[in-house]
Amino acid sequence: MQSQLYIYLLPVLAVVVGYLISLFLKPGSSSGFKLLLAFSGAYLLSVTVLELLPDVYQNGNSEIGIFIMLGLLLQIFLEFLSKGVEHGHLHLHEKSSFPVLLLASLSLHSLLEGFPLDENTHLLHGVVVHKIPVAAILSVFLIHSNLSKPRVFMFLAFFAAMTPLGNWLKNNIEVIAEYSQYVNAVVIGIFLHVSTTILFESSKNHSFNATKLGVVILGILLAYFI
């Protein structure tokens, strides 16, 4: 078990870093940003497959696969609402006074990914690495929207709070803790969809170049050895 303060602070710090990145880079076109996105996808996928997935199957529960598929389907629905911000899509032409659907989908995604964070240090780091580019893309969208700066910061603060809140709920609501294995399976489905989509969509024409391949391999190796 890890320090709860550590679990609560790192996801929030990731959003702050993502916002700062958005001020200096153009996530929609920066090659460096796309490599960061590819690295985050590889790292998150590796942690999910190597550590989180075996954990939920260790008791031999045959129903786990159903919940993994439900998580995958849930993420597809959430991305229909968010237009794919979770894996790098940026839609600056879509203006809104307050993007309620985007807020709801990203917040639910972040809430769920917080549930298993105190069970695995590597998973915590994977979520943090994944959240940085997502927060950067979200920040760019908000900065270029019709929202005032106070609303932008309110939106980002709400988004940042969701992951720590998810872990807090798991540890303080008895019924959630009782069914945490099934919630974790849903989270696995979410992570599998997000990470694989990142890997296959973050290159032009869905192709791998040598640099991206190296970044992906680095992400996998770090997830395995660290």
CA pair distance 40, 25, nearest whole angstrom: 17
Percentage of the chain modeled with pLDDT above 90: 29
- Give residue 80's pLDDT: 82
Instruction: Please report the DSSP string for 86-109 in residue order.
Output: GGT---TT---SS-HHHHHHHHHH
- Higher-pLDDT residue of 114, 29: 114
Cβ-contact 64, 180 below 8 angstroms: no
CA pair distance 168, 163, nearest whole angstrom: 9
| Averaged pLDDT score across all residues of the chain | 83
Other CB atoms within a 10 A radius of the CB of residue 177 amount to 13
Domain residue ranges in the chain = 31-204
Q: 131-135, 143-147, 164-168 — which one is most confidently predicted on average?
A: 164-168
- Give residue 112's pLDDT: 93
CA pair distance 196, 42, nearest whole angstrom: 8
- Give residue 187's pLDDT: 94
Which of these, 72, 30, 198, lies nearest to 126 by C-alpha position?
198
Q: Which whole number is the average pLDDT over 128-137?
A: 87
Band the pLDDT of 95: cuts 50, 70, 90.
Answer: low
- Give residue 211's pLDDT: 80
- Give residue 108's pLDDT: 92
Band the pLDDT of 120: cuts 50, 70, 90.
Answer: confident
- Report the residue count for the chain: 226
- pLDDT score of 146 more than 90: no
- pLDDT score of 94 more than 60: no
Angle of helix 100-113 relative to helix 121-143, nearest 10 degrees?
170
Tens digits of per-residue pLDDT, 24-67?
776 555 677 778 888 888 999 999 998 888 888 887 677 899 99
- Give residue 209's pLDDT: 76
CA pair distance 61, 70, nearest whole angstrom: 16
- Give residue 59's pLDDT: 72
CA pair distance 152, 205, nearest whole angstrom: 33
- Give residue 206's pLDDT: 52
- Give residue 136's pLDDT: 86
207 dihedral zone (left: phi>0; alpha: psi -120 to 50; beta): beta
